[in-house]
Amino acid sequence: MRILIAEDDAIIADGLCRSLRGSGYAVDRAANGVDADTALMANTYDLLILDLGLPKMPGLEVLKRLRGRGSALPVLILTALDGTSDRVRGLDLGADDYMVKPFELPELEARVRALTRRSSGTTPLVQCGPLTYDQVGRAAILNGQTLDLSARELGLLEVLLSRAGRLVSKDQLVDHLCGWGEEVSHNAIEVYVHRLRKKLEPGGVRIATVRGLGYCLEKQEARGA
């Protein structure tokens, strides 16, 4: 999952970036509205965390332009403005959720999980054969045993599960797993896939390699279905 944080307060932005990256998300940060608008046009994201009081271009204008382009990207507004009219205006322009500063990081991360889950149209528990993935707790359970996955492996699994049965290219994996300034080569992606495959395939879940194109998590019916 790749998230854009549009926040001009460096302390808040740094805390958000560290927290979300520690949870396995790829995170980019824009410090003003113009940069945020440019990033949204140039990159693919799974969520936008948007401060309303951005310099150069207000957050509501960023949101208005995003929706004007027909994007359904989930948007979580963060703002120090706590008046009802501010919340109503943001929601009317197409925001999906709203948090007032100051906020607690655990609550924000819970809202992030809820928004990305809702946008993908999936239930909290995703199953692929003997594999069950808990999107709320972000835990993978294979044949009743919780897998020990690194942040990269967890992010990789989320992308493959969201596209189970379909080809995912290496470039797509880089886009979803890496933020700005992170140099991740196709060789590194191969290493992550190899490590994840070693943990999944003994339990009956297969990641197929389509040579020269990418990878596919083979879609399977859950046991007992």
pLDDT in tens, 72-126: 899 999 888 766 777 777 788 888 898 888 888 889 888 888 887 776 555 567 8
Q: Quick one: how far is CA 216 from the chain centroid?
A: 19
Between residues 144 and 50, the one the model is more confident about: 50
Residues pairing with 134 in the sheet: 125, 139
Is residue 222 situated within a structural domain? no
Which CATH number do you get for residue 114?
3.40.50.2300
DSSP state of 96: S
Name, of 57-66, 90-99, 125-134, 180-189, the range with top average pLDDT: 57-66
**What pLDDT does 120 receive?**
58
SS3 189: helix
Question: Quick one: which of 180, 187, 196 has its CA closest to 148?
Answer: 196
Which CATH number do you get for residue 131?
1.10.10.10
Domain edge (last residue) among 91, 120, 149: 120
Nearby residues of 136 by Cβ (< 8 Å), 6 or more positions away:
113, 117, 124
Structure-token match 């990159």, residue found: 43
* One domain, residues 112 and 55: yes
Domain count, the chain: 2
| pLDDT beyond 60 at 225 | no
* One domain, residues 194 and 156: yes
* One domain, residues 59 and 148: no
* Contact yes or no for 56/62 (Cβ under 8 A): no
Question: Quick one: which of 78, 83, 80, 38 has its CA closest to 56?
Answer: 38
By DSSP bridging, strand 168-169 and strand 207-210 are: unpaired
* One domain, residues 194 and 161: yes
- Overall pTM > 0.75: no
Name, of 29-33, 174-178, 182-186, 188-192, the range with top average pLDDT: 29-33
pLDDT in tens, 158-172: 888 888 888 988 888
* One domain, residues 108 and 169: no
Percentage, residues of the chain above pLDDT 70 = 89
Is residue 223 situated within a structural domain? no
CB atoms within 10 A of CB 115: 20
* One domain, residues 52 and 160: no
Between residues 131 and 187, the one the model is more confident about: 131
* One domain, residues 103 and 140: no
Structure-token match 């999952």, residue found: 1
pLDDT in tens, 193-215: 999 999 999 998 999 998 888 99
Structural domain containing residue 204: 125-217
* One domain, residues 111 and 134: no
